[in-house]
Structure 1
């Protein structure tokens, strides 16, 4: 997931000790992309005095065009591909690679799930799951879809990296071609369920671009950006694709869930754009003060991402608890309060990150442990269980926990307890397989 960041003196020491060969721009992109996602979520939340949570982009449809700049998850997945390529080449054994990549992902995620699971149980036992509290129980787990997709990328890095090393751009083209075929079958022929294949084709194609960057094979970023922007524009203007690059409530077609060819084109233009900025971006990241902040931020990035919706809902919950009347979303008063709400959300997120950041730090290896003979099959089973558990929980949420509320995950009904059990078992399997045996 990037730098093993710590705060204070240790962060300064780590920043000062960074080798000159490290691609600091990649770390800057990782932090910046997650920061934009958090900011976007805070801006889109349209909370009213009755505790309901709407979407600002639905209230003001004209703002949907800003998602072409603020929907930057493709940049994070692109950076992930770059990092995974380097990590796997330095640690080729599958189980050891998985454990090393997932420690800073699954440990803070499972702590987040445990805390919110306990809160949900207490809230529902007290019968207090109405209004904003009930919305929170459903909403806070939704960003876990990103964790699930990222788990799939980590799991599939070894075979996809081999395809990249053999075919280069051809491997990317095959994945992009799969996305095209899926959308043709979906929109031209109405084939049911085929759209869900694009969760793999679209996001893995973006991830594959990270492999290409790792080997210096993105030589015409301007053409990539222009081609992606033109493609997305034409698809939205002439095809069945919506303008928004994030999901909208009640829409028949979403570019995000499942992902579409338009979202892939959007990803291409973003990747091309950040690559065009690589020179000035690298010089900016090389500044001592900037790099120190990047190191600190990388050390808490996943924790902050997991808890940022909790912080946002905490701000609104506090306002409602003190009977503060919230202005109508998108009104002049609402816009005037945006800086204050974001500042309050940032402070609360920082406090939550400070409380839970220790779970994001990599665990020290066991004395005498070796990855010789480590269990690749056990690791593969573990990451599969974790992936389905996290995705299932992102869909079902913690609302209706006592009533056995379920959601459909690939034709299977999943409840929150079952999803948590799968994620926990998967994490433990990956940890066990990756430790190897004592020598």
Structure 2
């Protein structure tokens, strides 16, 4: 508590606390949403299995217009990335150093999850567990990583995309929305492969709005790239987004549900569709409408301390929340006490509250163990720019940039390969071996760069005041 109080007291007056609140709320809603819609049952072999209840609850599909909060995470990610990159450059740092240091908080908690899952899977395989079942369990635990793949592509693109924003402003997300529309046309009329770029264009469009939000707080920025932040603008965006969403889903060809439901004509989230971007517009409007009251509330000490506490381990919460479900299901099954009520029945609804509470207890234990890995990633460390020392030759800088890009590429390739590998594949390590090798190689390169490759002498240690995440 003393540490939280100190952090709260040292918060800069100009910090947009609302961004931190939105990040914490978005991840909390993802966790509760995944837990809340999970249906647990048994397969033909008598083993526990799970799936989403959304396919059995079509009346709940409009609720996903609020529950699908990944756009909010990319919005605040854009704000935070613009803020920290700007601060780094004002201190004389470069984009490569920013990118190397930015990897620490994203990669370290993810590495912990993957290593623990791989070791656990290896132990289970050595004890003659079915490799298909091992893969199924690990596949379920790593579902959150599909989102991280997209974010780990967007983050390295921040320097060039922010430069485009500084030059062209809101025209950039407008062009990206047009590209998403073209991809959707391919999904609806063919060829379907035309929509592959939407995985990048859709999330980049929302991320660019985060840049615009950050720049809107600087009075020297030209009006053409400002995002209006007034309540009137919020009401307009909310209305426009909702009207567009209704026209695209209820009248148009898009599903009403914004999350994956097997059997629907397309998935609005994978890749992002125009319907998802319409929902993101409405969510941005609601965010702007609530901004004033929320900022006043966050000036109080206790709410702000709570937001700081959640953000210190927010990625750990996200990464481990489905592992908590796996552990709880396994424990209840071993005890012969796993309830499997029919979806929508009174028993199923009644089980929601104790189910969520039990999962929260398990997740709290996991966060207590693995949360310090993320929390330590935010603490004082010499910025990568400072660690370079006088070794700043152009050739060395290009090599450093290429290595950073290769590190991110290895991580993304590993996570993507895991996501694309079917859950019924026989994998003794739970994860495909090439995926694990690619990920660990990328993480190792970035760890090496963060350790001070190319530095001379003892680097000066100092805090990076613009963590921004």
Same-fold call, TM cutoff 0.5: yes
DSSP-derived class of the 1:46 partner:
strand
1:218 CA displacement: 2.2
Matched, 1:420 2:436: yes
Mark the structure with the bigger radius of gyration.
2
Q: 1:133 to 1:61 in 2, by over 3 A?
A: farther
Instruction: Report the counterpart of residue 222 of structure 2 in structure 1.
Output: none
Instruction: Report the counterpart of residue 409 of structure 1 in structure 2.
Output: none
DSSP-derived class of the 2:51 partner:
strand
Rounded Cα–Cα distance in structure 2 between residues aligned with 1:178 and 1:286: 40
Instruction: Report the counterpart of residue 36 of structure 2 in structure 1.
Output: 43
Instruction: Report the counterpart of residue 205 of structure 1 in structure 2.
Output: 205
**Root-mean-square deviation over aligned CA pairs:** 2.2
Rounded Cα–Cα distance in structure 2 between residues aligned with 1:349 and 1:40: 15
Q: 1:286 to 1:391 in 2, by over 3 A?
A: farther
- Contact (CA 8 Å) 1:46, 1:53: kept in 2 or not? yes
Instruction: Report the counterpart of residue 408 of structure 1 in structure 2.
Output: none
Structure 2 counterparts to residues 6-405 of structure 1, below 5 A: 8-49=1-42, 50=46, 51-92=48-89, 93-129=94-130, 135-188=136-189, 190-216=190-216, 217-219=226-228, 220-324=233-337, 325-360=339-374, 361-362=376-377, 365=381, 369-370=387-388, 373=392, 374=397, 375-396=400-421, 400-402=425-427
Rounded Cα–Cα distance in structure 1 between residues aligned with 2:263 and 2:162: 38
- Contact (CA 8 Å) 2:186, 2:193: kept in 1 or not? no
1:250 CA displacement: 3.5
Rounded Cα–Cα distance in structure 2 between residues aligned with 1:40 and 1:127: 34
Q: Once the two structures are superposed, what CA deviation does each residue of 1:65-119 show, in whole Å capped at 9, x if it has no partner?
A: 1111111110011000000001111224222111222211100101100000111
- Contact (CA 8 Å) 1:117, 1:398: kept in 2 or not? no
DSSP-derived class of the 2:313 partner:
helix
Residues matched between the structures, number: 422
Runs of 4+ in 1 over 6 A off after TM superposition: 130-133
Rounded Cα–Cα distance in structure 2 between residues aligned with 1:124 and 1:332: 39
Q: Once the two structures are superposed, what CA deviation does each residue of 1:203-232 show, in whole Å capped at 9, x if it has no partner?
A: 100111101100112212222222122112
Rounded Cα–Cα distance in structure 2 between residues aligned with 1:404 and 1:40: 28
DSSP-derived class of the 1:91 partner:
helix
Q: TM-score, normalising length from structure 1?
A: 0.90
Rounded Cα–Cα distance in structure 2 between residues aligned with 1:242 and 1:165: 35
Q: TM-score, normalising length from structure 2?
A: 0.85
DSSP-derived class of the 1:193 partner:
helix
Rounded Cα–Cα distance in structure 2 between residues aligned with 1:404 and 1:299: 30
1:394 CA displacement: 2.7
Rounded Cα–Cα distance in structure 2 between residues aligned with 1:382 and 1:253: 33
Rounded Cα–Cα distance in structure 2 between residues aligned with 1:14 and 1:397: 44
- Contact (CA 8 Å) 1:68, 1:266: kept in 2 or not? yes
DSSP-derived class of the 1:18 partner:
coil
1:131 CA displacement: 10
- Alignment gaps of 5+ in structure 2: 217-225, 457-469
- Alignment gaps of 5+ in structure 1: 1-7, 406-414
Instruction: Report the counterpart of residue 3 of structure 1 in structure 2.
Output: none
Rounded Cα–Cα distance in structure 1 between residues aligned with 2:424 and 2:193: 26
Q: 1:252 to 1:125 in 2, by over 3 A?
A: farther
